[in-house]
Each structure stands twice: as structure tokens, then as C-alpha cells.
A and B are shown apart, each in its own frame.
Chain A
């Protein structure tokens, strides 16, 4: 009771007028209504324009109303919040629309038959055929690229963080930066020029090499960041126990950061799994099953998508197959991401009692 008496006596300086909790929703609904009104009145037929008007009205409306009721500082706070929301929606809408389009168009021909058969001799305009050969090619090329790039990338990062001092480390960092910026087609051309020197025919492993070039800098960067997060105190604790440096790195530093490192590698895999250009140059594509990545042209998912779409003229059986393959590729990348998260959570340093 005494509290109530106290607060009754003097106006609190800690409390001011506040907008109710539901006000952002009300303002959002209001601005959408205003936008629809303006759109209809001005005869704007693009829904994108409607949405932009609604977003602007929402931000401005939030500011004006909040400034009236709550004062300047809270108004700025609310504007910042609403800007974040608008940005979030702007980012999410294309994503949702992309996923929706892919699923709705891809489901048409995506069935077990599609996943377990190759194109064989099915013509572009005919229905039937599948992507087994492309999945196989993708898995082999990406797998080989990972086997090459992940160890080299992780070891490079370990060198840079744990040992690297002076010129060599600076040079390595510089080259990693440069490699990050290499367009995928250039990596493909680089391997292609080697292939031409040795007069080789297209084969899967050549694609893997180009993909490895693209993957390596990503692995180095992410692993470096993860290793830097390991507190120095842990290294010192281990060294002070008389553990040699290499064992300290192997048994203390890497286990502490292994979750993050795996996540980084998985994300790098996801990045190269969708590369088309180097595969187009180096692996060529093949509508038959070729399980040997070291000899003969192979297919791959992104390349399959490209070729089916290019031959479809915007409709027909090939067009459906392109979408179904896209859905498969997205699902593959999604699964990789989920696996990465799972590993990160499973391997994260344990806390709690």
C-alpha cells in the first residue's frame, strides 16, 4: 500500500506515456489500408509499389504517432525497430516466394522414379527421365572437392592463427583474400587451360579441382575466425602442463572449435554445390550415368538444371525437370545446413552442470 501512496504523491520521473503493446500491429494494418487506398486511387497496378508505399507509411506513421504520444527519444527507438522489421520483410519476401515457386513447380515430376533414373535417351521435349546421374555426379565432384579443399583450408587456417608471423603469413592472408574474389568461371578457365596443355578430355575430377579452388578460401576464412575465438588461456593452460604445441592444437584448440569449423565447411560445400560455370567448362554434362569421376563427361545438378532449362523453351517436360532438379538441389543444401547445425550443437563446448 505504501508504494501506491508514494506514487500518488509525486508524478514519477521514470514513467511516461506509452503506446499500447498492440500499436505496431495497428499501425501496420493502418498503413496497409492506406497503401491499398492510394494504390487503387492512383491506379497503380504493381503490388510491389503498394508494398513500398505501405512500408513508407508504416515507418513515417510510427514516428509521428510515437513522437506525439511518447516523445522524441522513444519515437526514434520505434522508428529504428520498424525499419528493422521492414528490412526483414524485404529480405524474407523474395526468399519465401523463391522457395514457394520452386516447391510448387518442382513437385510436379519429383518422385522416386525421377531420383533413381538417368535421362538416358529421353529427348528434351518428352516426359520421363530423371536426375540420378546428376545427383551422382554432383556428390562425387563436390565430395572430391571437399576432400581436397577442407584439409588444406583447415591446415592453412591453423598455420595463420597458431604459427603465422611475419611476411609469409601476410602473403598467405593476401592470397586467400584474392582467392575469395575469384569468379567461378575464372577458376574453371584456369583448370581448363591446364587440361588443354595436357590434351585431356572433360572429366568430373577437373570440375572438383575448380570447385576446390573456390571452396578453399571460404574454409580458411571461417576456420580462422573459429580458431581466433578459442581463448588464449586454454592454449596457455595446456602449454603450462608441458603439452607440446602441436598436441595442444590437436587436443585442445581443435576440439574446442570443431563445431564451428564443421559448420564453416558445410556452408562452403553448400556454396560450391550450386556452381555451374566451372562444371560446364570442365565436366560438360552427360545424360548417361557415369560413376567414374576420373574419366569421361559427367552430369551435375546445377548443370542439369541449366541444360534442361536452356532446352525447354520455357515450358514442357524439360522445364518441369529443371524445377524438380532445383528443388532437389535446394533440399540438398538445406540438409547440409541442418547437419552443420546439428554438429555445431553436438560438439559445442559443454556448459551447465
Chain B
């Protein structure tokens, strides 16, 4: 069940350092939105505010609103743990749990939340691994440790782990930056399939990737070093890559930057 994200006036701090300022945007359900922008402009920070992972960092603070289908994630009485069950996340570096087997890694979200029926677990794990295009490669060694897979396989394992808990939104922070072109392609295909079911937000430094996988693209930038990052514009991917309305976007995309 994909959900819409509506962000308004979002500002995030690390202690006294303001990392991003006054960001507003809408992310449509069942679509892929790509975040692009130079290093340090706050893409990861913004992404982490969308499932309340930002406050896990010591000193992390957020102002503003993030509506998930009309419910403010930062409203009073909202449990960050429940938020993270609905908004899943895949990290830049694959991080399977080293003490768990492949099967246990995928089942981790359900098991650790204590909400599953034993009979369903096998089916969910198989479905998730198939969803992450990993089933065929690991079906014979589900009981082997997850850290014994290749980097690309580990990343797909992490995606399987994230989709096993059936979130409404899937956040991906540079999911392909450590992968070879073939694994990258596999994950891009996967994103195309996953958007039928989830709302997907992906951070990427790869322009072609943004152009290939996303429906909408948001460009972030910072005015100067030490200044907070801002959203410059968000538009249909086609428009951003052919005819953006802001000059800075065009400069960044065409490589004439800084």
C-alpha cells in the first residue's frame, strides 16, 4: 500500500549545525523520486528525516512537517518505531546482520518485531527474495551467513530485508554506489518492479541512473560551503534533464558545476 509523502518547511540540524533548510516537496505514491545534488548538500540527511532516522544521530533535530497520507510523522504522540515500519530504508553500504543466516536476515524485521505467523515466514522470505531478484542465487544456501554473499548480493539481501516488512515507502540512499554495472542494472530493474507496490525515493550521484529509473527528480544544492542545503527544484525527470527551470540545475546536470 503505497503512500504519498508531503513535506513542508523542513529544517534539520546536527547539534547547532543546520544541515538542510526549509525543504518542501510532494512525493507521489507508486512513483520513483530521485534526489540529486553535490556531495554534502544534505540528500542523506533529508532522506533520513523521512523515516525519523535523523534523530538517531546524536544531536539530530528536525523542524517542519512530513505528512504521510495526511498524518504528520513529527506530530505529537507519533511513535518513531511505527514510522520506520511503514517507511523502510536501504543504506549506501550493504549491512546484513553478521550473526544471522540469509533466511534470518530477510526474516529479521518480522521476527524482531515479533509480529509474524511461523507458517507464513517461509513464504514471506521466499517472496521477498524473489522480489529482490536474489532467490535463484541463494535458494540453496538460505542457512549460510548473509555476510558470505558478494557486495551486490548483500545489497539485494538488504532490499529483500526491507521489503519483507511490507513498508509503504522505500527510501534508498545511493543503493548502487558500491556495485558493479550488472548488479546496478539488476537493482534498477528491481526498482522499476517495486514501484508498482511502493513509493520509492532514491538518492543517486549517477545522472543516467536518475534519468533511467525515476519519474520525478529533485535537485538539492547549497549556496556555499557551511551553508545549509536547499531544494532547488523538483520536477518531472524528463523536464529536469531536458529543460530545467533553474540555471544551476542545468549546470549541475551537464557537468558545468562549481
**Using an 8 Å CB-CB cutoff, how does the interface string of A137-171 with B read, 1 for contact, 0 for none?**
00000000000000000000000000001000000
Residues in B with CB closer than 8 Å to A235 are 56
Q: Which residues in chain B, 78-98, are within 8 Å of chain A measured between CB atoms?
A: 81-86, 88-89, 91, 93, 95-98
Which residue from chain B places its CB closest to the CB of A351 in the assembled complex? Answer: B147
Q: Are A350 and B98 in contact (CB under 8 A)?
A: yes
Q: Is A337 an interface residue (CB 8 A)?
A: no
A351 to B148, CA, bound (A): 6
Residue contacts A-B, CB under 8 angstroms, 22 given: A234-B95, A238-B97, A240-B51, A240-B53, A240-B88, A241-B88, A241-B112, A241-B113, A242-B83, A242-B113, A243-B108, A243-B112, A247-B112, A247-B113, A251-B111, A255-B99, A256-B98, A349-B98, A349-B99, A349-B147, A350-B98, A352-B148
* Smallest CB separation, B90 vs chain A (Å): 8
Q: Is A75 an interface residue (CB 8 A)?
A: no
**A interface size (C-beta, 8 A):** 25
Q: Is B109 an interface residue (CB 8 A)?
A: yes
* Smallest CB separation, A329 vs chain B (Å): 35
Q: Are A352 and B108 in contact (CB under 8 A)?
A: no
Interface centre among A236, A256, A352 (most CB of B within 10 A): A236
Q: Are B99 and A238 in contact (CB under 8 A)?
A: no
* Smallest CB separation, A239 vs chain B (Å): 6
Q: Are B97 and A242 in contact (CB under 8 A)?
A: no
Q: How large is the interface on B (under 10, 10 to 19, 20 to 34, 35 or more residues)?
A: 20 to 34
Q: Is B134 an interface residue (CB 8 A)?
A: no
Q: Are A242 and B82 in contact (CB under 8 A)?
A: yes
Q: Is A20 an interface residue (CB 8 A)?
A: no
Q: Is A45 an interface residue (CB 8 A)?
A: no
Q: Are B91 and A244 in contact (CB under 8 A)?
A: no
Q: Are A242 and B85 in contact (CB under 8 A)?
A: yes
A186 to B84, CA, bound (A): 50
Q: Is A16 an interface residue (CB 8 A)?
A: no
What is B's interface to A at a CB cutoff of 8 Å?
Answer: 51, 53, 56, 58, 81-86, 88-89, 91, 93, 95-99, 108-109, 111-114, 141, 144-145, 147-148, 158, 161-162, 165
A332 to B113, CA, bound (A): 42
The 3 closest A-B pairs by CB, nearest first: A242-B85, A349-B98, A241-B109
Residues in A with CB closer than 8 Å to B161 are 237, 241
Q: Is A180 an interface residue (CB 8 A)?
A: no
* Smallest CB separation, B167 vs chain A (Å): 8
Q: Is A233 an interface residue (CB 8 A)?
A: yes
A353 to B108, CA, bound (A): 20
Q: Is A252 an interface residue (CB 8 A)?
A: yes
Q: Are B56 and A350 in contact (CB under 8 A)?
A: no
Q: Are B56 and A353 in contact (CB under 8 A)?
A: no
Q: Is A312 an interface residue (CB 8 A)?
A: no
Residues in B with CB closer than 8 Å to A251 are 111-112
Residues in B with CB closer than 8 Å to A238 are 97, 108, 112
**Using an 8 Å CB-CB cutoff, how does the interface string of A248-280 with B read, 1 for contact, 0 for none?**
100110011000000000000000000000000
Q: Are B93 and A233 in contact (CB under 8 A)?
A: yes
Q: Are A256 and B109 in contact (CB under 8 A)?
A: no
Residues in A with CB closer than 8 Å to B85 are 241-242
Residues in A with CB closer than 8 Å to B148 are 350-353
Residues in A with CB closer than 8 Å to B56 are 235-236, 239
Q: Which residues in chain A, 155-203, are within 8 Å of chain B measured between CB atoms?
A: 165
Residues in B with CB closer than 8 Å to A242 are 81-86, 88, 109, 113, 165
Residues in A with CB closer than 8 Å to B141 are 353
A195 to B196, CA, bound (A): 72
Q: Are A243 and B109 in contact (CB under 8 A)?
A: yes
Which residue from chain B places its CB closest to the CB of A258 in the assembled complex? Answer: B99
Instruction: Given contacts A233-B93, A234-B97, A241-B112, list 18 more A-B pairs with CB under 8 A.
Output: A234-B95, A237-B96, A239-B84, A240-B84, A240-B162, A241-B84, A241-B162, A241-B165, A242-B81, A242-B82, A242-B88, A242-B113, A243-B81, A251-B111, A252-B112, A256-B98, A349-B147, A351-B98
A243 to B97, CA, bound (A): 13
Q: Are B58 and A165 in contact (CB under 8 A)?
A: yes
* Smallest CB separation, A262 vs chain B (Å): 14
Residues in A with CB closer than 8 Å to B89 are 240
Q: Are A350 and B147 in contact (CB under 8 A)?
A: yes
Which residue from chain B places its CB closest to the CB of A353 in the assembled complex? Answer: B148
Q: Are A241 and B108 in contact (CB under 8 A)?
A: yes
Which residue from chain B places its CB closest to the CB of A238 in the assembled complex? Answer: B112
Which residue from chain B places its CB closest to the CB of A240 in the assembled complex? Answer: B89
